[in-house]
Amino acid sequence: MQDERLVSPKQKEDDDSQAEKSLRPRSLNEFIGQEKVVGQLRIAVAAARARGEPLDHTLFYGPPGLGKTSLAGVIANEMGVHMKITSGPAIERAGDLAAILTNLQKDDVLFIDEVHRLNRAVEEVLYPGMEDFALDLIVGKGPSARNLRLKLPRFSVVGATTRLALLTSPLRDRFGSVHRLEFYSHDAMREIVLRSATILNVPITLDGAYEIGRRARGTPRIANRLLRRVRDYAQVVAEGTITLEVARAALAALEIDELGMDENDRRLLRAIIELFNGGPVGLSTLAAALAEEVDAIEDVYEPFLIQLGFIHRTPRGASPPTTPTSTWGCPAVRPPRPPPAPPPNRGGCCSEV
């Protein structure tokens, strides 16, 4: 169920298309939002280039879909080097990491997504690589075994994680620069939607872009996904241009309400209200009641609902900040009412973008 949600910040299969990749910014000037992080990276990149050194190892953390992978690509582009992409779960053995490290070129960027999922044996190989740009190998077995140190070209590790607390201290301390990515403002989301619409050649008004952006849960990945779905609606039902009315009608048809919640969010809130008397309720118990994975609730559902103020965490589990009737007995836990559909396409010019 989680993989099917339009408002899931997790990567989906259709997000890997060439069109999706083309929406990613290629430079710090193209990157919208995260002004504090971008400003710090701008200084770090300029200093590293002036010294002729690779960028210091950098860690990005925060909810999924906020641009951690995009920023890694931006860093590589700004430094004028190649980027090797991998992930914590993909590096199963120390030998896998050794093969990756020995194939890096001078000043390359090694991007490790879900870096918190690296196993300890792999981390032990990564430590000297990050610290001394060396690879420690054990040659032979038994009494004849000996240590062999291979020098590696200087490189930068860029890590990304949604679970900073799960990183081991030795690994976390080896990142010289650590940045938290925050949810985006409505204005920033509007600019992201406008930029994506321009790249995809989708006619859209400012109000239409703002409406999509404000319902995208402060997450660019969701905004781009919604833009494609609303584009389809506009082409079939309306005149091809995404106006405020078209955006509202399309999002209502997708059951995404004014707050950006979908039916799964409302189902979670109803479960806490109706099945558990408003809470508090433990995470594993709630996951069992919803037939969802604990990680999905903790990583995807909770952050957004906490941000809205609809739930908060207590030592006894999730619960509402006030009484269920005053906080959750509201239209937010019911599907949005679809507005009247726009008239069918009968020709005529498009409105201004």
Catalytic center residues: 68-69, 113, 162, 221
Secondary structure letter of residue 352 according to DSSP: P
Long-range contacts of range 17-24, CB-CB < 8 Å, 24 or more positions apart?
A: 19/200, 19/228, 20/224, 22/199, 23/195, 23/196, 23/199, 23/200, 23/224, 24/69, 24/70, 24/73
- Report DSSP letters for 235-297, one per residue: HHTSSS-B-HHHHHHHHHHTT--TTS--HHHHHHHHIIIIISTT--B-HHHHHHHHT--HHHI
Secondary structure letter of residue 13 according to DSSP: G
Detail the DSSP E strand segments found in the chain.
58-61, 83-87, 109-113, 134-139, 146-151, 156-161, 177-180, 312-314, 317-319
What letter represents residue 310's amino acid?
F
Q: Are 37 and 181 in contact (CB under 8 A)?
A: yes
What letter represents residue 41's amino acid?
L
Q: Are 116 and 88 in contact (CB under 8 A)?
A: yes
Distances (CA, A) of 282 to 4, 72, 165: 25, 36, 20
What letter represents residue 337's amino acid?
R
Give residue for tokens 């971008």: 38
Q: Are 320 and 270 in contact (CB under 8 A)?
A: no
Determine the 3-state secondary structure of 152 from DSSP: coil
CA 145 to chain centre: 44
Conformational region of residue 98, where left means phi above 0, alpha means psi within -120 to 50, and beta covers everything else: alpha
Q: How many helices (H) and strands (E) does the chain have?
A: 15, 9
Q: Are 238 and 246 in contact (CB under 8 A)?
A: yes
